Amino acid sequence: MNSESSVTALASIQSKYKFRAKTLEYSTSFYPDRFTILYKDRKAGEILYENILRVEKNREGLRFGLKNGSWMKIPCTPEEKKKIFRIFKAKRLGGILSENDIVGLALVEFADLKFLVPLGNACFADFKKNVIRRIGGHFLPSQSLDFVSLDHYNEFSLYIKDKDSLVAFENDDDLLCSLLYFEKKLNVVVKHAPKVP
C-alpha cells in the first residue's frame, strides 16, 4: 500500500461530526485505492475501497456499507458529495483505472445510449459485466456501478460493429481478436433479448 505522501489525493473534504455534545472536525482524503480520516493531523482511520460493499448518498453526505456489516457516514456538501460519488462510479476492482491498466477501449451502443468502457484485460466475461453495469448505472444513477445487479447477464448479447455489419462477440478469443484487428478501439452494439419463462 502506498503512503499518503507519495500519492496525490483525488479529493479532500472537511467534515464536522457531533459526538457527546461536542463538534469534532475531521479531514477525509480520497486516494485511488482508499480513503483516510484525519483528526488533528493524526490518522483516525483508513478504509480500503475493496472493503466497501455499497455507497449511498443521503441528505447529510455519503454512507459507506462495509464488508464487516457496519456503516460509515461522512458529512459533506452537495458539491463534495457529487465529486466523491464520481470517484466511486469510476472505481473498478478496488481502484481507479489508470492509463497503464487499459488494454483497449470500447464505444458501446445500447438503443439510444452510447458510452465508453475501458478494457482492463482480455476477459470477455469481465468486459460484458462492465457493460451491463454501465447500462444499469444509466437507469439507476443512485447506485454505484459495482453494485448494479447482474441477474440478467445472459439476456444481453454483444456484437462488434464492422462498417454496416454486426459480428457475434461471445468469448475471450473474440475479444482478443477484435482488440488486435481493430487496433484496441472497438465499436460494440448491445442487444437485449429477455428470456421467456
The predicted pLDDT at position 94 comes to 38
The predicted pLDDT at position 96 comes to 47
Instruction: Quote the cell numbers at residue 93.
Output: 476492482
On whether the CB atoms of residues 43 and 28 are closer than 8 A, the answer is no
The predicted pLDDT at position 131 comes to 86
The residues pairing with 15 across neighbouring beta strands, listed in sequence order, are 26
The predicted pLDDT at position 92 comes to 46
The predicted pLDDT at position 191 comes to 92
Radius of gyration of the chain (CA): 20
Residue 65: burial class (beta carbons within 10 Å; 0-12, 13-18, 19+):
middle
CB atoms closer than 10 angstroms to residue 50: 13
Class of domain 4-96: mainly beta
The residues pairing with 22 across neighbouring beta strands, listed in sequence order, are 19
The predicted pLDDT at position 176 comes to 92
On whether the CB atoms of residues 37 and 16 are closer than 8 A, the answer is no
Structural fold of domain 99-192: Ubiquitin-like (UB roll) (3.10.20)
All structural domains of the chain with their residue ranges: 4-96, 99-192
**Cα angle vertex 69, ends 63, 73, to 5°?**
20
The predicted pLDDT at position 189 comes to 95
Each residue's pLDDT tens digit in the chain (197 positions)?
444 445 678 888 888 777 677 778 889 998 877 889 888 888 888 988 878 877 888 888 888 888 888 888 888 888 888 888 777 765 543 344 556 667 889 999 999 999 888 887 888 988 888 888 788 777 765 554 555 556 677 888 999 999 999 999 899 999 999 999 999 999 999 998 776 66
The predicted pLDDT at position 17 comes to 72
